[in-house]
Structure 1
Amino acid sequence: MTSSSSPAEHVITLDGTHPSTREVLGGKAYSVNKMRAMGLPVPPAFALPTGVCAVYHDNGRSLPDEIWQQVLEHLRRLEAETGRRFGAGPSPLLVSVRSGAAQSMPGMMDTVLNLGLTPELCEALAAETGDQRWATDTWERFCHSYADIVAGDPNAAPPSDPFAQLRSAIGAVFDSWTNERVKAYRARHNLGAGAGTAVTVQAMVFGNRDERSGTGVMFSRDPATGENTLYGEWLAKAQGEDVVSGEKTPNPLATVGDILPDVYPELERIAEVLEREHRDLVDIEFTVESGRLYVLQCRAGKRAPRAAVRIAVDLVREGLITADDAVSRVSAEQAASLAKTHAVHADRTVLAGGLGAGPGVAVGQAVSDLDQALDLAAAGTPVVLVRPSTAPDDVPAMFESVAVVTELGGSTSHAALVCREIGLPCVVGAGVGTVAKLTGLTVTVDGATGTVYEGDALHTPDEGDVDEYLTELLGYLPDTVPVDHPLAQLRSAHLERA
């Protein structure tokens, strides 16, 4: 599975010189390979492609020695490209070990960051940089990541051998392909069994390095509204998990310009380049280390239903896609969500407010316990899941809820991405204490305004102006489209209301 299609080669260098496919490399590695071919600033990496996932599981959940030897060969190439050594000082090489299936499944599988550290190598990092604070922070982050994801024991320490760390972490990522949240996600989106996840091993860059460092996620357009404006969030002196986990509330992307005025224009340029390459809204993960920008991933961005319509129409108007392409980019689930016409009584009591991250309105009983949420939903009770923040393990309960509210996190957090994709009303960053305040109450969640109201505040709005983007998109439908096509049904309902 290399550029030369040799079946004996199970590890692929992601240097952009040998094109491959998303099915072989998985989405993450495919994007790294493509961006390196485009000359964008991407840290060097290699991948164990999706087919190795089955090999690993068929081998008793163990990476065969033949493949491990190929991993070591590619690790030496990373050392040569970075000028650092894995498992040795004075300049140790640290890597991330990341998942990536052919279809994008944000946050469903596992990632290990800062791998390759030991107490001795932590001191080597401190000596090399003269920054003990940063070295210690990086070591503590790695210990937490390894214990949680690889060992499955919060009290476990990483092995003293960095090579043993790497082999175990690769296995842990392959193992995450079979977890319950992946099964729930694939079932919800009708993705089938799939070929497995790839594993990307990439040289680390450090958003937690210093005051001129940080990490963030940006979208080439607003994924909630579809407006053609750069959108995203970031955190200074942080790493990627800090943003997407929702455990911290990040800052608007525009604040990058306040701290790093030379970086923000480059973010704008990269977003434009990648959007035109993909001919679609793109979701871009980036890190800045000591003022130097790196791009880590690019994929088609998850978007709210109404944003999906506007983006599709705007891309047709811009000549980037055809009318048929536009119709294909609005899913049946999004069409069903667009058919809903509920609004809220704005004079109802407001219980909480945050950032609207998943547009739409829903009413339900606020529940914080995951098992209780699943039980109530199974019994037919509409559930609003309220949590301090959401983690990938919360996904099955999220999929059974009518809305989600979190105390922490921003619009690019895990909760926001999952809810936005499936058209689930979501409010993030509502503030500490929100869970205790809401649990047990019937509430109305307005994901557009970021407001949580007391009781059932729904009402049917008066007929207003017909949305121009939806009207134009529905006009793209051919007369021969089957009447049971979701967009055809929406067109009928839309014409009746117009």
Structure 2
Amino acid sequence: MTFLRLGQCPDATRELIGGKAFSINSMLTLELPVPPAFVLGTDECTRYYASDRKLADDVLAELRSGIENLESTLGRTFGAAHKPLLVSVRSGAPRSMPGMMDTVLNLGITDAVEKALREETADAGYAADTHRRFKEQFRKVVGSDPSPEPWEQLGAAVAAVFDSWHSPRAVAYRRHHGISDEGGTAVTVQAMVFGNLDDHSGTGVLFTRDPVTAQSEPFGEWLPKGQGEDVVSGRCTPLTLGHLAEFMPDVHRQLMESAALLERTFRDVQDIEFTVESGHLWLLQTRSAKRSASAAVHHAVTFEKEGIVTAEGALSMISPEQLSAFLRPHLAPTARVGATVLARGEVACPGVVTGVVVGTADEAEEMAEQGIDVILARPTTDPDDVHGILAAQAIVTEIGGATSHAAVVSREFNRACVVGCGEGSLMGLVGKSVTVDATSGEILDGMLEVEIPSKDTHPDLRVVTEWLAASTTGSENPLNKILAAAH
């Protein structure tokens, strides 16, 4: 079996411990501020399914060993009524599948632990909020009320994360990307840090370069007194990182320095989740950022110019799907004149598409199967909406920001996306034919005229064309075929 304490396994591979644990292990090796953690490898997921979805006794024993190590590291005790230890239980496939599998936060809390947190912090609101969050998430992920016994909570959460490997949304995601169902997900157990603790706490997401507009400056969002699920779920509309810089400049500076180091180390744009607990920065994970097609092309060109990667390396940063999306139509200037704006929001993934607005993922899938182009409008999206996102031409939401689940998945699938249009602004549009201009963030009435981009009007596309002409892979590179088909 594979059981590893992260930060102590320099040879562990992404295939063995999953992307999330791999990133934590790498950050700990770089001596960045990361809560301690351990991991059950992807092979344990395979064994779990081979054992009729039962956790083996040696796995349960290793979970106890891992928790005991966290206890000794932090001076806290799992399930104790004094200085209790809470943990997160997170999925982590070898290939990033954002939002497709399950996570349980704040695990280990009970009535007695809530009382201990209340006494330790002198903040009954924080303790009750943490307990509420745990119970709601546990019920959603595991499907039952949490046991009053923390060790039983842990076993149930680990099993639920393994189970989520074969959830309908995870299977649909793998089908779309041609990923095998073999193997499985690792499970990372990490000490909790609390963005909801006090007024000097919060949570956020940072991209080392803008994943939407292709600007080279860092981009991110920050939510004071919140936990990570609040941002990525889209339930809350966060603030910009400028608010963090103004409120906690030292934390912001440390975050930017860490981000620059991670981008240099991985030689790619990074998507970093972080928490600030009472003014102390903690990094929770980093991964290659899902980005819009235009951002993928521009960042590849910029990385080559900056000497971070070679031209061949830059070409590998652009997938055939991204180049194809980059070459899709944009709104004709004359079409905008006199167009009626139905709603405005924040661009999460650029593009211009037309279609009929639908209000549910199931309806999007059904109408798309009939050959109708649809726009999926939701108050906010849930991971279970993935089949509708795949079926739609674009996604628009009433609440949530550019780092929410809807935004990240839209960039992964190269779907035009506009988020945060305002509560009540979209569901009344169901049944209408509209144009989503996810360059300006507008939803326009009617199906408007679009134009096709070319290398003559896009310098980045001209550079990519020159790279391909000089590439050692020559005409065999699939990007060449897409360019040839477009022109």
TM-score, normalised via structure 1 length:
0.94
Report the CA distance between 1:339 and its aligned residue.
2.0
1-structure distance, mates of 2:213, 2:461: 13
Structural mapping, 1:218-233, within 5 Å = 218-233=206-221
Is the contact made by 1:481 and 1:488 (CA closer than 8 Å) also made in structure 2? no
Match of 1:444 among 435, 438, 445: 435
1:25 equivalent in alignment to 2:13: no
SS of structure 2 residue aligned to 1:440: coil
Counterpart position of 1:326: 314
Instruction: Give 1:341 deviation, angstroms.
Output: 2.8
C-alpha separation in 2, matches of 1:157 and 1:17: 36
Partner of 1:5: none
Question: Secondary structure of the equivalent of 2:465?
Answer: helix
Q: Percent identity?
A: 46
Q: Deviations over 1:15-72 (max 9, x none)?
A: 2454310000100001001100110000000000111001111111111011110110
Contact 1:336 1:486 in 2 (8 A): no
Any residues of structure 2 matched to 1:348-387 within 5 Å, and which? 348-387=339-378
The 5 A counterparts of 1:335-414 are 335-344=323-332, 345-347=335-337, 348-414=339-405
State which drifts further: 311-320 or 277-286.
Answer: 311-320
In 1, distance between residues paired with 2:407 and 2:454?
Answer: 29
Deviation at 1:485, TM superposition (A): 4.7
Q: Per-residue CA shift, 1:215-267, capped at 9, x if unaligned?
A: 00000000012221010111000000000001111111121012212111111
Tell me the secondary structure at the aligned position of residue 53 of structure 2.
coil
Q: Report Cα offsets for 1:84-117 as digits up to 9, x if no partner.
A: 0001121110000000000001110000000001
Moved more, 479-488 or 449-458: 479-488
Q: Counterparts of 1:399-478 in structure 2 under 5 Å?
A: 399-460=390-451, 466-478=457-469
Write out the 4+ residue segments of structure 1 that deviate beyond 6 Å after TM superposition: 461-464
Please name the residue that 1:269 is paired with. 257
Q: Residue 456 of structure 2 contacts residue 462 of structure 2 at CA under 8 Å; is this kept in 1?
A: no
Candidates 47, 52, 57, aligned match of 1:65: 57
CA drift at 1:490: 4.2
CA distance in 1, matches of 2:4, 2:296: 34
- The 3-state SS of whatever aligns with 2:468 is coil
| 333-342 or 230-239, which deviates more | 333-342
8 A Cα contact 1:339 1:490, kept in partner: no
Unaligned ranges ≥5, structure 1: 1-8
> Are 2:329 and 2:352, in contact at CA under 8 Å, matched by a contact in 1?
no
| CA distance in 1 between partners of 2:455 and 2:296 (Å) | 21
CA drift at 1:193: 2.2
Aligned with 2:246: secondary structure?
helix
- Alignment-derived partner of residue 89 in structure 1: 81
* Structure 2 residue aligned with 1:4: none
Alignment of 1:28-43 (within 5 A): 28-43=20-35
In 2, distance between residues paired with 1:462 and 1:391? 33
Aligned to 2:97: 105
SS in 1 for 2:186: strand
What one-letter code is carried by the residue in structure 2 that aligns with 1:129? T
Deviation (angstroms), 1:481: 5.0
Match of 1:260 among 236, 239, 248: 248
Match for residue 291 of structure 2 among 279, 288, 303: 303
Contact kept? 2:343, 2:426, Cα under 8 Å: no
Where does the alignment leave 5 or more consecutive residues of structure 2 unmatched? none
The 8 Å contact of residues 230 and 236 in structure 2, kept in 1 or not, is answered as yes
Match of 1:247 among 225, 229, 235: 235
Please report how far the alpha carbon of residue 487 of structure 1 lies from its aligned counterpart in structure 2 after TM superposition: 2.1
Q: 1:463 to 1:146 in 2, by over 3 A?
A: closer
Answering whether residue 111 of structure 2 is matched by residue 122 of structure 1, we say no
Aligned-partner SS, 2:336: coil
Using the TM superposition, name which of 408-417 and 477-486 deviates more.
477-486
After the TM superposition, which of the residue ranges 203-212 and 315-324 deviates more from structure 2?
A: 315-324
What is the distance in 2 between the residues matched to 1:194 and 1:127? 47
What amino acid maps onto 2:154 in structure 1? L
1:207 aligns with 2:195: yes
More moved, 344-353 vs 75-84: 344-353
Q: Residues 362-415 of structure 1: CA distance to partner in whole angstroms, max 9, x if unpaired?
A: 111100122221110101011100001011100011001000000010000001
Give the aligned CA root-mean-square deviation in angstroms: 1.6
1:320 Cα offset (Å): 1.3
For 2:35, what is the secondary structure of its paired residue? coil
Aligned-partner SS, 2:249: coil
CA displacement at 1:465 relative to structure 2: 5.1
Deviation (angstroms), 1:492 = 3.8
CA distance in 2, matches of 1:122, 1:38: 34
Residues paired across the two proteins, number: 483
- Distance (whole Å) between structure 2 residues aligned to residue 251 and residue 142 of structure 1: 24
How many Å separate the matches in 1 of 2:96 and 2:455? 36
TM-score normalised over the length of structure 2: 0.96
Distance in 1 between the 2:405 and 2:453 partners?
34
Q: In the TM superposition, what is the alpha-carbon distance from 1:343 to its structure 2 partner? A: 1.3
Distance 1:298 1:462 in 2: 33
Secondary structure in 2 matching 1:469 = helix
